[in-house]
Amino acid sequence: MLRARFLCMSGDLYHLDDLSSRERLDAGHEIPARLAVIGCPVAHSASPRMHQPALDEAGIAARYVKIEVDPGRVAEAFRRMRELGFIGCNVTVPHKFEAMAACTDIDPGAQEMGAVNTVRFEENSTRGFNTDGPGFEAAITEAFSIPLKDLDVLIAGAGGGAGGALAAHCARAGVRRLVLANRSLDKIEALALSIRRYHPGLRVDVLALGDPVLPDLARQCQLLVNTSSVGLKADDPSPLPPESFTAGQRVFDTIYQPPLTAFLAGAQAAGAITANGASMLLHQGIHAFRLWFPGSHPAAAMRRGLAAG
């Protein structure tokens, strides 16, 4: 009965002011909050649904909560969590760049990706990691039964934290060609420069989402990925026009709520094979959990948690 009670409470939503004391944060709970996902907004996050069952199954006395943190206050949130004895946290939009700046140590993989989505509070440091890339690759393999290696990949919305991380990971995985598309070019031009520095032999194309040649380039790619926030609202349009899709393509949207975005609907209408971000959420979460608890095996519990959603 007690375990079930904890599971029911796993979706608690807090704000930065709630990190002022343990008494305030844990009022009404027997188990302390020691892990969290921070974002703005963050109420929609499904992360507690998978992390809490994994914690419960492993017998770890900790709650995983959601904390709304305004832009510009991530470093303060980290400081308060450290003071309250948090193990770590996940980071979602729009904080992945700010989180990287707020960490005292950065994992080399996150350094190359240019963003942090997972933080571990160590004795003398706040260490940042990025599990988006490994989670994405595992999701692509699971959904489409194809490896990233040797594919031509287009990433729409590559200027954001998730987009930059996935672009960098695609380069590390050995894709043949990388097409980066974004509303504004300044962010992705800097990203392309960084990727070319690490991977000088990789062809990287950069263009605006409104560029008239984009649909033609998109049809040449075997994998199209949306990493922008366009699609989170029910009436959002697709970031790519309908003529960008073709039969047999693999099309992946990192958004998982709603499960069918205009981006995926347009791809399905053209005969493409599609998948949403639920599997990426799962796999990046597995990687994050193992960073906090090395040697753990949370996958089965996390799958059940998400399925029970």
> How is residue 237 written in tokens?
């349009």
pLDDT tens digit sequence for 46-100: 999 999 999 999 999 999 999 999 999 999 999 999 999 999 999 998 899 999 9
Query: What rounded mean pLDDT belongs to the chain?
Result: 93
From CA 59, how far away is CA 104, in angstroms rounded? 30
Token pair for residue 164?
């930059």
Q: Which of 95, 52, 55 is nearest to 77 (CA)?
A: 95
Instruction: Let me know: does 207 contact 214? Beta carbons within 8 Å.
Output: yes
Domains along the sequence of the chain with CATH: 2-130 (3.40.50.10860), 133-279 (3.40.50.720)
**What would the pLDDT profile of 185-220 be if each residue is shown by its tens digit?**
998 999 999 999 999 999 999 999 999 999 999 999
Query: Among positive and negative, which fits the CA dihedral 40, 93, 49, 86?
Result: negative
Residue showing tokens 């004795």: 123
If we measure between CA atoms, which residue out of 46, 258, 280, 307 comes closest to residue 142?
Answer: 280
Q: Tell me the per-residue pLDDT of 146-180, one tens digit each, with 9 for 90 and over.
A: 999 989 999 999 988 789 989 999 999 999 999 99
Catalytic residues: 96
Say what the pLDDT of residue 229 is.
Answer: 87
Confidence of residue 309 (pLDDT cuts 50, 70, 90): confident
pLDDT at site 118: 98
pLDDT at position 4 is 34
pTM, two decimal places: 0.88
